[in-house]
Structure 1
Amino acid sequence: MKKQRENLIAAVKKSEEILEDKRGLQIADPSKNSVAGKEIELAANEVGYQDLFDNMPNGCVYYKVLLDEAGSPVDLLYMKVNSAYEKNIGRSLSELIGRRVTAVFQELTGKDFPCMETYLNVALSGEPVNFTQYFDQQDKWYSISAYSPQSGFVVEISEDTTEQTKAESERRERERQVALIERVASLGTLAAGVAHEINQPLQALKIMADSMIYWYDKGKETSVEKVIENCRKISVQAGYITSIVEWMQDSVNKAWSDSPEEVDVKKMIQRVLILVQERLRANGIQLRENSCDDFLMVWGDSRRLEEIVIIILVNAIDSFVSIDQAAKEIRITTSCVENSAVIEISNNGPAIPDDIIGKIFEPFFSASKSGTKLGMGLAIVKSVVNAHNGTIQVFSSHQQVTFRIEFPLYRQSV
């Protein structure tokens, strides 16, 4: 750092000498001084550059670095500014040229100037920078580039990006609101399924408890072994309810944060199956799994990925309710196809009619005539799949409905 400062001091002094020499040459008679003639020629060429500088659409400033007695850069001096910069900050040329930045912006001192420290570092290191800066006084955003054309000087080129920045901010806010609506709708859909999952073990608990109370009221003695056996069953069912509630709590807590991570597809599916196992059993549905040997990792929100699998499975379970069918089967298959992790969820329930299959991913579309479903389930599935850069397709034939989901495989860089 000390060496950089020494070089900077020397460069500033040298620049001042050169400028002074040029002033002397411009006064001299060109016919008696060939060097002066070249200077006039260069000056003529500079007219074109000056015109370009003055009329460029972006603000441009040429600063000189000012040093303190210890040789440390402390301030910037306006050397040149163009019309766009004058317009951007609302100051005239006479208010800027030859004045310190801290004198122009008197409400700011030293390094409190938003870009001061950055520019001084550019002067010391010679490394150009690009950044975005918000200025409170103007309520504007600027995209700024700064570089040092020669040691001791800094050039700033700024573009007013306020409109673009505000538009981008509004777009993100709209996306956040849409995501929030989707999350609320998703949680509503899941809540209905969770209520059913909890109701099954609760009914089992009530039956066992009522049975013991009934025989006690009848004066019938029950063996300790039988009571212990029932207590074990009650403990199992209570544990099942606890796991469902904990999963729902985690899902709600993660609803308000973006927390992408590595997700093991097969383990994710296993967690989901624990949540729906009682519902499958109650409806007499046989679950078959066919997992590939490949290590399937994707990048995303594990809870949201679990949700879409739950929604598809619950829809498959519900599809069997309206039919009298002896063999009911749901099959889950995982595979690796090129650079994609593939999940296929199939059931041998009724086919999806041709006039409906093209609409099932539309928000608020529901084939249910009961009016109890909002029709957001598969719309949420589609949205989550898209958010994870995946694709989803549905195929339907006689007693075979298959949802095929593909996600890009996540591979860690070595």
Structure 2
Amino acid sequence: MVNKIKEFDLDSQWYFTTLKSIGDAVIATDKEGKILFLNSVAESLTGWLSNEAVGLPLEKVFNIINEETLEKVENPVSTVIKTGKVVGLANHTLLINKEGKKIPIDDSGAPIQNEEGDIIGVVLVFRDISERRQARRTILKAEEDYKKLFNSMVAGFAHHKVIFDDNGKPIDYVFLEINPAFEKFTGLQKDLIIGKKVTEALPGIVDSDFDWIGYYGEVSLTGERKSFEQYFEPLDKWYSVEVYSSEKGYFTVIFTDITRIKRTEQELKNSERKYREAYNRGQFYKDLFAHDINNILQNVLSSVDTILLANEKPEGKDISDDMLKTITEQVNRGAKLVSNVRSLSEIDDAKIVLGEIESFNFIEKAVKYVEECYKEKNLKITIDAENRSYNVIANELILDVFENVLINAVKYNDNTEIEIIIKISKEKKDKRNFTKFEFMDNGIGIQEERKQNVFERTNRKSFNGMGLGLSLVNHIISKYEGHIWVEDRVKNDYTKGSNFVILIPEVT
């Protein structure tokens, strides 16, 4: 502020009123730095009345020091007189008033010039900045507290801006701010992702099953606050997320890493499942031995008793021969039952190793075994195959599969001649190549309502044979990642026999 006046004429009502009415403190001095005028605000801040201060050196009334060093600050009047320019006080300046009270101020000094441009004095304008300083401290303290809170948050925090295409569809979002917990939970560093798109920082997000970009984009548009738990494929982690939007097109997430909790829950579920499986298995074997083995022993004992009684009769030899056949059948039945139990327990207790198996050889072995076990029956088993080369992904348990299916076909057949046709071919299912085995018999067949549960281990009606054998077959085929089902040999007429169909993955 440069004032060009002819002389100091403080009696002039206009100048006096103007200086007196200014809201800041005003002190006017001559060019020697002696006070000519104080307004009421200057009186209040300095503690000096105008009639006391007029004529005194400025330093006496306007005593200023540096807040940090407590050293005196150069009189601004001297600087203005030397430079002829407007000057301001340095930051952190304190005014020591008449009572010794220190008041933080800022000010400016400007030369007063006459019409010839000569400096005839200086006017100082200053103000108490205590409230402003306190407000600034309050703001800085709040910012510091917020920063501490932000950085010490247990939950991850991230603020984003959504990117939309021309049709208003969210296609990406940009990281604007994250906290240290975000870095900890995600492994992403702040200086590497701030300002970047999520598709750049985490390219795999576009292939996720969950539409993260679309979900967050919707929140940024609707402002609806949402909470959810979701697996994040790109980082292989589970998060509990709360998302909200305080401004359209922007969203904020607060989240915690719940991966350990989710995995613990899954482990508990697996443990519970294994416990139930073990319990059910124990009950199954208990019932199995209590029922099937007991029946076998009862049949053997009954046959022995019949032989002993037959020895006293003329036709005893024929009766004994029949009973010996029965005993042989029951012994074979018991041996197969024990073999099946052993195979089933081995599958349950260990991970089986698969490899390349020539299945045709095992088909022939199974046929030979069944023919040996049922010599007294009229069996006609034929194999229908284009060649002998059918390599599948399996192991030696495939023999149990073929034997049990064949035994089942023999046991549940009341015909004088038991006919079984084994057809081997190739089939493609779900874009995978399989070898297809069909066991077609002329037995009693299986009613439609029983076809779905015939392979279940817990089928009580099956304890006299079918259940365990077919349960074992089903279990083995599932380990092979194959398929098994039963259908009518003649469509829609189960009384004409069954066709057990098995698909085992082909070696490629």
- Fold shared by both chains (TM-score > 0.5): no
TM range (shorter): 0.3 to 0.5
Higher relative contact order (CA 8 A, sep 6+): 1
| Structure richer in helix, relative to its length | 1
Larger Rg belongs to: 2
TM-score normalised per structure 2? 0.36
